[in-house]
């Protein structure tokens, strides 16, 4: 009889499979995407005015009564995308002008009215559509 019991136990037991109960290791994080090399180049100047789409009376220091400034920009390599002229009085954003770039090269500009009592340090940033600063120009008003 003992032979029969052993035979039944062996015959009815399900085959055992080893199981790993530890949680799976997390998948490695994907490598950060490499930034696409920027082929955008920018030339820019601040001016009091434009004549035939070219800047006149350029500089980085202007009197308090300047009234208005023009940021003239020539962009290469950004056809079909906007750029922004972001004007700052000190560290406070004073204006953000979106400009469409229709070709390459492309000349464009924005104008900023400057109140006579807004003296001191200013700067303007030229940014691409993603917000990256392509160029920065520091200037002063009334000092």
Higher-pLDDT residue of 39 and 25 is: 39
Specify the number of domains making up the chain: 1
Per-residue pLDDT, averaged over 64-78, amounts to 96
Tell whether the model's pLDDT for residue 142 goes beyond 90. Answer: yes
Report, as an integer, the average pLDDT of 60-65: 96
Residue 123: inside a domain: yes
Domain with 67, as residue range(s), is: 41-141
Q: How far is CA 45 from CA 72, 74, 88, in A?
A: 6, 9, 16
Q: Is residue 1 part of a domain?
A: no
Q: How far is CA 73 from the centre of its chain?
A: 18
How far, in Å, CA of 116 to CA of 102, rounded?
34
Q: 88-141, pLDDT tens digit by residue? A: 999 999 999 999 999 999 999 999 999 999 999 999 999 999 999 999 999 999
Q: Is residue 30 part of a domain?
A: no
> Residue 118 sits in a domain of what CATH number?
2.60.40.10
Integer CA distances (angstroms), 84 to 110, 120, 130, in order: 9, 23, 10
* pLDDT averaged over every residue in the chain: 83
Note whether residue 19 is domain-resident: no
Residue 4 resides in a domain: no
Amino acid 22: pLDDT: 56
pTM (2 d.p.): 0.72
Per-residue pLDDT band for 84 (boundaries 50, 70, 90) equals very high
| Residue from 40, 140, 117 nearest 84 by CA | 40
More confident residue, 3 or 128: 128
Report if residue 26 sits inside a domain.
no
């Amino acid at each position: 009889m003992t032979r029969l019991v052993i035979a039944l136990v062996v015959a009815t037991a399900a085959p055992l499979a080893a199981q790993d109960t530890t949680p799976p290791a997390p998948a490695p994080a994907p490598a950060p995407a490499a930034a696409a090399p920027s082929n955008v180049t920018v030339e820019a100047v601040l001016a009091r005015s434009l004549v035939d789409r070219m800047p006149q009376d350029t500089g980085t220091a202007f009197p308090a009564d300047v009234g208005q400034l023009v940021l003239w920009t020539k962009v290469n390599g950004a056809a079909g995308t906007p750029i922004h002229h972001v004007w700052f009085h000190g560290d406070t954003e004073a204006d953000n002008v979106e400009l469409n770039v229709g070709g390459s090269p492309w000349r464009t500009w924005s104008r900023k009215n400057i109140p006579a009592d807004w003296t001191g340090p200013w700067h303007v940033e030229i940014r691409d559509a993603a917000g990256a600063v392509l160029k920065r120009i520091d200037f002063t008003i009334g000092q």
